[in-house]
Amino acid sequence: MIQSYFFGLTISYLIGGIPFGYIIAIAKGIDIRKHGSGNIGASNVGRILGRKYGIIIFVLDLLKGFVSVLFIPVFVSTLHFPTTSGDLLVILCGLCAIFGHVFPVYLGFKGGKAVATSFGVFIWLAPLSLAIAMVIWIVTVIVFRYVSLGSIIGSLSIFGCIIVLESDPFGSGLYLTCLSVVVATLIIVRHRTNIQRIVSGTETKIFSKKQQKQQAVL
């Protein structure tokens, strides 16, 4: 059991830590950490390199979470490691992928804000809750034009939907409920500077002239 957990969680963390935003920006001759918010996630990449690249990074970061919960536990079982509490292993693999994205060993533990990778985890673990949360996220972004606000509200929506939609969120589904609480808390904490800028009115809105100027400079 210890072997299976150690192997699965380590691989999930390393997959989650792959800094696609940084890699693609470097390929374009830009160190994304020195532009915009300095974050390597999809929002900042889209803000600096353009919407197309933001979407590409979002999908790639999402896949890190999806692969970690869908394939890593199965891969571990094929190695004949003793496994118990399979649901817990899947949950922890997803959590490690998320922490890998936020604290990647490849970049000195300075990574993204967990949104896309978390979405990838919940695609498999709670698809209906995620679908509703993504609709809320999209509507929030369209109405208020703050991606950060949409991410915060979307993460809270996943938790709320799991509580409402799961058959036993505090029994057999307790691991999933706990994961949604941890993820929502992590996303809010990682967006604390965005919250401050929203309150002060200095947060960059999508499709704003300020964003277009940032892209034009590059």
Q: What is the pLDDT of residue 84?
A: 45
Report the 10 Å Cβ neighbour count for 164.
10
What are the CB-based long-range contacts (under 8 Å, 24+) for 175-179? Answer: 175/87, 175/88, 175/91, 176/91, 176/125, 176/126, 178/91, 179/91, 179/94, 179/95, 179/121, 179/125
Asked if residues 123 and 130 have their Cβ atoms less than 8 Å apart, the reply is yes
Q: Domain boundaries in the chain? A: 2-217
What single string gives the DSSP state of each residue in 176-205? HHHHHHHHHHHHHHHTHHHHHHHHHT-SPP
- pTM to 2 decimals? 0.90
Q: What is the pLDDT of residue 78?
A: 76
Asked if residues 181 and 108 have their Cβ atoms less than 8 Å apart, the reply is no
What single string gives the DSSP state of each residue in 86-104? HHHHHHHHHHHHHHHHHS-
Q: What is the pLDDT of residue 208?
A: 61
87-92 average pLDDT score: 90
pLDDT digits (tens, 9 = 90+) for 23-66: 999 999 999 999 988 999 998 999 899 989 999 999 999 999 99
Q: What is the pLDDT of residue 3?
A: 78
pLDDT above 70: residue 207: no
DSSP state of 36: T
Mean pLDDT of the chain: 90
pLDDT above 90: residue 206: no
